[in-house]
Structure 1
């Protein structure tokens, strides 16, 4: 193939020419051969210099990317550029075409040739026009039926002494000879996608790699339209438009330099699915900020073309994003920065260039304002999105490819959106349940692929539970997510949300849950009808009842009894729900009604024993009511009962602004076993007719019944101050309910007198479901006798008593004897003697201890004295191996001791030498004193 360099300086012709299929037929007189196309494959390959310069672009009013010193010294703004490769056109020469290898002869033959459609990708002898940079086109008739020709002058064109630049204008062969070409009617077909996908030169250019990739894909199947295409030694001139369903391209270039380049890429915004377009517009302007240089300025705009998306038909995608219409309220975004991302398909192994990007601005990702419609009003928030180009290629459609969706899900992740704590109907059922609406403070949004395109999905919700805030003061955010069963079945599934397990405990706060009952259970889900539930404790498939042992721990109690041991045939846990109220805080309800109770220890159902609990709290106030019906307490144990308390009802009520109240209905008290002796008196007392005195403290509530019996007088017999007292204590801190019963009390014992004999006492006992907690009884007796003989008078008395106390498992029995008297003669001489002896049994140490005190006083008018003898405390028996024989409790006295067969005695004498001497004299008469025993 002969090669020629065709140069003509007059009009700047500069071509590389190669030919094949030509034969020398003759020579001109000047010796120049004449070539002739004698076969059908004669070809003329014309190579042009680079036809395009890819110039650096910048956004409007941005400073120049670089500055360089000029020859005079000042810095000048500089924009970089990259020169394209050469372009070539292979022309077919019809048989008989004559070619003289001169400039004029080659141009003459060129005008007779027709471009040959190249191979894809083109070979080194095929047509390959690189205009613009890195875009390789072939040319063809846009409408079909005609061939493309090169319209160019053979000789230089000079007008008034000015010679024009030689240009080869390519056009469809339609115009009549001599008529101007207004529309080249060319089709530009992309023939080298690999070159189009090559990297950019390291700076922003009007037609970047992403747009070239898109253009090459579209123009390979359906060519773009060129109304003007001229080639010259100084660069090409191009007016082209490509309009496809998902991509648009407009390009204006003059002599290799871009004037206006516009691309529009269609796509959708992931994960919401709204259609949008991404536009890049580069224009050459005289920019004052660039020293009035004609530079390329670019603008990048994202436009939302589908402002509103309607929800898809009922199904998992609708349930996963419980909103109606979704609107992006701002439709136009300028200054968008796009960093396109590629995608390697994991199944086909193909790499797809420039598939998606995250729209960003100077300050980071763009937050798109979103409005979501609900039945209760609009929800507004801002959300970053991904722009996914609508790419359709053999074996790959970007907007419906599941593998790309999975990749987008990984790239996008889960975006958290804060909300101002709004009530959201998460089900949107025709019949709304209380558990459908929740107070949402944040949503986490991901994406999914639906038959209608990308759809958002709530992968998590941050909720606050007004019920727990109102009932327990707990206001922490709780993460929740839709259950798989709900997403699959919809409103037919009752359990709506799974959530991080939380502990719901009224232990120690029973005043909030009805006083009588202190529920405690875990919750890890939200039911539409039951509120907070534990999915593990719900009835197993096919089962009707809940296992209380799996629902309640041992500290959940009713009247101090473990709930798990009391409840039976349980169908649901305590139902805790909140009902939104327009413009007001939600109404919180806790309901647990018709709960059947069974026998457990000392708790004995009487008929159909049930528990009913209702707690309602709203903006107008709160109501708490808890009632236990038809039960009896067999105390201390059902096998050996001493007391049977039977209740028709026990009801706790508390209305906001009022004190808590306890109402007891149909109480019957029956003494059994060893306490039957007081049954007759108990039968005479009908507590159901009495109104209790209620004492309420932060620790609990006490209902006190008191019945005063009238004094009884029969001759010398007098009985007074006899009262029957009963208390029912309901603690709010989880301790069991206890019952106290007593005749009189330690502070106010009853009194009994018969002639000169008198006495009194009291009986108190306290029981709960664990048994007899405390029993205390005391009886006192004695007599007093006085005589008066005018000159002398006297008095003698003797008293005794015993007290029994059982508390915390320890038994204490104490007794005393007090004997004394006095004599007075003529008011001048008086003598008194008082002896007191006490005994006590201590069950903790199994010791019997005692103490005796003797006091003698003598008054002879002019002289008086008194002596007090105190034995201290001594152990008569028991006390264990480590017990002390005695221990004094009088820290202010001097202690003396003696050993002997008679035991040990202790003297607590007055601190005088006379007293000590008299005591030693008395002691020596009975027991010898050794030096080592003296203290």
Structure 2
């Protein structure tokens, strides 16, 4: 110990003895060494959390020293002896520094510095890292205290190399942490082990003793390395190339740590850290290579009562090393990259702000700013049509040092949560915020469009929900590969029919993901989360149908269609959906205004599904023209016009109908017979840039019939509707035939008087906003056969197809109440009328009356008179008013005139009526006698009326009213087996 310059040193001599005057060799053939022990050269200091300016809560920081340093010097053979003095023993310029041999990591005896039987130079710097020289060096220093201006300099010695004083050092081992003060310190034991691996030059054999693992090796460079009794003042730095994927995998297979250290800078003053910079390799969860830069600085802070104090403060940042990453087939995606709509992602940020907490070597974690908020990287994605889409998203940093299994486990934990739950917990909500990224309505291609069909997979996107895969490309560690698990997009074709649809939630179609777009019969690539029911008014389909359909699949060229495909376990389309599921997709669709279209749909043959692929206009027209051509599902599509002046929206469907699907317990009669019918709908809307819509609609239903109440049947071979901009709707029906049955079968005898085509010449067709009225009115000429005369007979038939959802109806009449037909036979005559209104629910209204009687007159000159007797029955049924009435009447008239002066007339009227309103019925009888007397210019009438009514029971008695419960219970066991 030399107090003058604070020197503290231990001197050890090997193979030297004092001969009374000098130190000489004991054995000339044995190694002769001088061992120098110096105090610890580094202080490991506690690193507190972030210290705010003006903070007063921190107390003293803990600190421990490194182990002592031993320098070993070999005495050259040309030196015969050494003086036994401190000055002589500190003269190291003439001695040879001893280094630890390359490849050795452990001394001969634990805790010693002896390697291969010879003591070596071992310096613990920084704490827990053992270093030695990597090339011949010299120690330059003064042997005597140095005084300047009355002050003595601290004893020190400088390490000097052959490269302009720069020294190359090599780490060969680490020692266990003795302090417990490594929290927040970027120089973790793992980073020190990386320095050993990257500088020791030790060859690592592959598995089973195979070829050595190629680990990049480069020594530490010391711009300055000065040792003093109070610690070293040094500046060390190191930089290393990354490990090859093969070497990384080999190390991990051996259970060894794969170093991820890029650069290391360390500056100390008298053993105290001033600056440490550790840069580690890693990846972001998008696959971009990134660097974690951890810096430790000594920060000077003013403390009340303590003056200026200096704490160590750590600051971490992420630096994006690889700005752009390419995606696609062969890059490690589970589904060949189809789950990732971006071909590339470019991150524009180069360096993040300081992170919220230190990043350890053991954990992947979200990049969070010091404020506690996620740092959102600015990302520019390139879609499949080379569009650039800009958005922001938080990312995870994954250290490269983690094994594949560790990466998988940690990424799964970081991304654990339900992104689609309706009742998210705190974890789910946080993950939703991170993964649901707003696209702001930017247009992008959600899938690779087919050849020559640019724009066919493009949508305005409101939001993308990212997921994370844990597979990676071959030859590199598995890292997070982003994919899109869900999205919200605008579908223009759907918006035309549902203006308030807005952004629709979608996911990638299963067949598209697991197979390809080409494997799907319709080329589907997106599936709506919730099928969208299209409300398609009957006026847009010619009154023939309101083809409501639940569209669910978005295809590249067929447009938007219902999901009628059955998918196998491998994601391939194996068949069409069962008929029940197909009918469910058309819930609410109406035919002729009131008939559930879904109940008449038929199974779809798997072979016909292929017609939905690549439906161009030519293919659609060919299908519509072909007698047997069918389009198995409605197609909703939108395309740009050839001249670029607007867009065309088209809804087209051609399907065969069949027998009605009769549900259990359904015993209702079917008004519609479409067992051989084909329904065709083709609606086009052209929207110009001036937002002017021009709609053209064609509807067609062939080979169908309408049955009304089992009394009338209308058969129609072809019913067509066409309307266009500025034109009156054109409705035509051909092959119409009207037949009567049961009670009205007698009318068929009059068919010879009806036109062959009821909607041909002489018929009427009225198209109004409320619907279509089509029919005929035919007046028959008077028929006279002998004394029999039938006149004023008019036959009428009218078919009404409404546009407001009301059922189609049919009315038939033989004359009308206001114009009854007349019948006369000699002196007897009468007349009547009949009309019937029916629709799918049955008879709605029936009205009819028949009257017959006779009359006679007598003139004797002096007196004349006459008498007439008429009797009739009138029946009326009105379902809407819930009223039924039946009336019978007798009317008698007589008069007598004498000399034209006195006239007496008598009228007797008797009527009996049964009326029922709802559940109440009444029988009413009414009689009237009227006597009129006219004498010359005086006349007088007297009427006598009598009316009586009898109310019936409100309803027939029920079974429960007629049979007591106890009687019923006795009755049933009597017939039990």
Q: If the length of structure 1 is used for normalisation, what is the TM-score?
A: 0.73
Counterpart for residue 734 of structure 2:
665
Say if 1:668 and 1:687, in contact at 8 Å, map to a contact too. Answer: no
Question: Hey, what's the Cα distance between the residues in 2 that align with 1:827 and 1:115?
Answer: 168
- Matched with 1:89 is 70
Aligned equivalent of 2:561: 532
CA distance in 1, matches of 2:169, 2:459: 60
1:643/1:257 Cα in 2 relative to 1: closer, same or farther (>3 Å)? same
Alignment partner, residue 582 of structure 2 = 551
1:303 to 319, 336, 351: 319
Counterpart CA distance in 1 for 2:950 and 2:308 is 117
What pairs with 1:29-48 in structure 2 (closer than 5 Å)? 39-40=30-31, 44=35, 46-48=37-39
User: Of 504, 512, 532, which residue of structure 2 is paired with 1:486?
Assistant: 512
Q: Secondary structure at the match of 1:66?
A: coil
- Paired position in structure 1 for 2:808: 737
Deviations 1:26-85 (A, max 9, x none): 4569xxx999687438572514135346475898x95154368xxxxxxxxx88463432
Tell me how far 1:338 sits from its aligned partner: 4.8
Matches within 5 A, 1:755-834: 759-767=830-838, 775-781=846-852, 798-804=869-875, 814-821=886-893, 832-834=906-908
2:616 maps to 1:616 = no
Shift, 1:242, TM fit: 0.3
Shift of 1:659: 7.9
| Counterpart residue number, 1:152 | 141
Q: Which of 372, 390, 395 lines up with 1:380 in the alignment?
A: 390
2:767 corresponds to: 694
- Quickly say closer, same or farther: Cα 1:337–1:67, change in 2 above 3 A: closer
The aligned counterpart of 1:267 is 282
Which of 536, 545, 555 is 1:517 aligned to?
A: 545
Match of 1:589 in 2: 650
Task: Give the deviation of 1:8 after TM superposition.
Answer: 0.7
Question: How far did residue 457 of structure 1 move?
Answer: 1.4
Q: For 1:643, which of 708, 712, 733 is the aligned residue?
A: 712
Residues 514 and 389 of structure 1: CA distance in aligned 2, closer, same or farther (over 3 Å): farther
Contact in 1 for aligned 2:864/2:896 (Cα 8 Å):
yes
Closer/same/farther in 2, CA of residues 470 and 368 from structure 1, 3 Å limit: same
Report SS of the residue matched to 1:330: coil
Whether 1:330 aligns to 2:349 is: yes
Hey, what does 1:838 align to over in structure 2? 912
Shift of residue 293 of structure 1?
7.4
Per mean C-alpha deviation after superposition, the further-off stretch among 439-448 and 756-765 is: 756-765
Matched-pair contact (CA < 8 Å) for 2:506–2:529: no
1:552 partner SS: helix
Deviation (angstroms), 1:382: 0.6
- What is the CA-CA distance between 1:139 and the residue it aligns to? 1.6
Residues 665 and 384 of structure 1: CA distance in aligned 2, closer, same or farther (over 3 Å): same
Partner of 1:75 in structure 2?
none
Tell me, in whole angstroms, the C-alpha distance in 2 between the residues paired with 1:234 and 1:361.
Answer: 36
Report if aligned partners of 1:213, 1:354 keep a CA contact under 8 Å in 2: no
1:743 to 1:200, Cα distance in 2 relative to 1, 3 A: farther
Confirm whether residue 442 of structure 1 aligns to residue 442 of structure 2. Answer: no
Greater alpha carbon shift after TM alignment, 794-803 vs 243-252:
794-803
Aligned in 2, Cα 1:355/1:718: closer, same or farther, shift over 3 Å? closer
Which of 868, 885, 910 is matched with 2:945 structurally? 868
Cα distance change of structure 1 residues 104 and 679 upon mapping to structure 2, 3 Å threshold: same
Q: Mind listing any 5+ residue stretches in structure 2 that lack a counterpart?
A: 114-120, 202-216, 243-261, 420-434, 610-631, 661-669, 960-977
Pairing 1:471–2:497 present? yes
Name the SS of the counterpart of 2:90 in structure 1.
helix
Answer 1 or 2: which has greater strand percent.
1
SS at match of 2:754: helix
- Quick one: structure 1 residues 11 and 417, their matched pair in 2 at CA, closer, same or farther if it must change by over 3 Å? same
Say which is worse superposed, 705-714 or 313-322, in terms of deviation.
705-714
Tell me what 1:364 maps to: 373
- TM-aligned CA deviation for residue 319 of structure 1: 1.8
Question: Is the Cα contact below 8 Å between 2:263 and 2:279 reproduced in 1?
Answer: yes
- What's the secondary structure of 2:143's corresponding residue? coil
8 Å contact from structure 1 (residues 614, 626) kept in 2: yes
User: In 2, are the aligned partners of 1:468 and 1:475 still within 8 Å (CA)?
Assistant: yes
CA shift digits 1:429-456 (9 cap, x unpaired): 3233886344432212233422486542
Query: d(CA) in 2 for partners of 1:63 and 1:461?
Result: 45
Partner of 1:49: 40
Please identify, of 775-784 and 317-326, the stretch whose mean Cα deviation from structure 2 is larger.
Answer: 775-784
Q: What is residue 66 of structure 1 aligned with on the other side?
A: 56
Structure 1 unmatched ranges of 5 or more: 1-6, 69-77, 175-180, 343-352, 884-935
| Contact map agreement 2:38 2:229 (CA 8 A) in 1 | no
TM-score of the superposed pair, with normalisation by structure 2: 0.71
CA offset at residue 704 of structure 1? 3.6
Distance across 2 between alignment mates of 1:599 and 1:713 = 44
The answer to whether the aligner puts 1:459 opposite 2:453 as a matched pair is no
What is the rounded CA distance, in whole Å, between the counterparts of 2:822 and 2:193 in structure 1? Answer: 111
Cα distance change, pair 793–211 in 1 and its aligned pair in 2 (3 A): farther
Aligned CA distance change for structure 1 residues 803 and 841 (closer, same or farther; 3 Å): same
Shift of 1:10: 0.9
> In structure 1, how many angstroms separate the alpha carbons of the residues matched to 2:270 and 2:779?
124
The answer to whether the 8 Å contact 2:734/2:759 transfers is no
Alignment partner of 1:688: what SS?
Answer: coil
Give the corresponding residue for 1:162: 151
Q: Distance in 2 between matches of 1:24 and 1:499?
A: 92
Distance of 2:695 and 2:940 partners within structure 1: 77
Shift of residue 596, structure 1, vs aligned partner: 2.8
Q: Distance in 1 between matches of 2:34 and 2:503?
A: 79
- What is the deviation of 1:9? 0.9
Q: For 2:363 and 2:601, how far apart are their aligned partners in 1?
A: 68
Structure 1 vs Structure 2 CA RMSD: 5.0
Distance 1:587 1:213 in 2: 67
- Cα distance in 2 between the residues matched to 1:47 and 1:338: 37
Q: Distance in 1 between matches of 2:177 and 2:958?
A: 104
1:238 corresponds to 2:234: yes
The answer on whether the counterparts of 1:128 and 1:137 sit within 8 Å (CA) in structure 2 is yes
For the 8 Å contact 2:285–2:397, the answer to whether it is kept is: yes
Deviation per CA, 1:894-934: give whole Å up to 9, x if none.
xxxxxxxxxxxxxxxxxxxxxxxxxxxxxxxxxxxxxxxxx
- Asked if the contact 1:569–1:596 (Cα under 8 Å) also holds between the matched residues in 2, the reply is no
CA distance in 2, matches of 1:633, 1:364: 69
Equivalent residues of 1:504, 1:520 under 8 A apart: no
Aligned pairs, number: 821
Deviates more, 1:670-679 or 1:651-660: 651-660
Aligned-partner Cα distance in 2 for 1:622–1:548: 36
Aligned match for 1:411, one of 390, 397, 414: 414
Structure 2 SS opposite 1:761 = strand
- Per-residue CA deviations over 1:235-264 (Å, capped at 9, x if unaligned) read 211122201125112223232234443333
Q: Kindly name which structure, 1 or 2, has the bigger radius of gyration based on alpha carbons.
A: 1
Does 1:187 find its partner at 2:169? yes
Residue deviations 1:79-116, cap 9 Å, x none?
84634323312515448886888644653579736344
Q: Distance in 2 between matches of 1:199 and 1:786?
A: 138
Secondary structure, counterpart of 2:451 in structure 1: coil
2 CA distance for matches of 1:188 and 1:329?
A: 38
Q: Contact 2:47 / 2:314 at 8 angstroms: preserved in 1? A: no
Q: What SS does the corresponding residue of 1:324 show, helix, strand or coil?
A: strand
Question: Structure 1 residue 756: deviation in Å?
Answer: 8.4
Contact 2:567 2:574 in 1 (8 A): no
Rate the CA distance shift 1:848–1:502 in 2: closer, same or farther, 3 A. same
Do the aligned residues in 1 keep the contact of 2:540 with 2:697 (CA within 8 Å)? Answer: no
Cα separation, partners in 2 of 1:340 and 1:303, compared to 1, 3 Å? closer
Any conservation in 2 of the 1:250–1:263 contact (CA below 8 Å)?
yes
**Are 1:9 and 2:3 matched, yes or no?**
yes
1:257 and 2:272 matched: yes
1:694-751 CA deviation, whole Å, 9 max, x = no partner? 3434xxx342434353875989968448352312334654x65333333344566556
- Corresponding residue SS for 2:8: strand
Residue 263 of structure 2: aligned partner? 248
Please state whether the residue corresponding to 2:338 is helix, strand or coil: helix
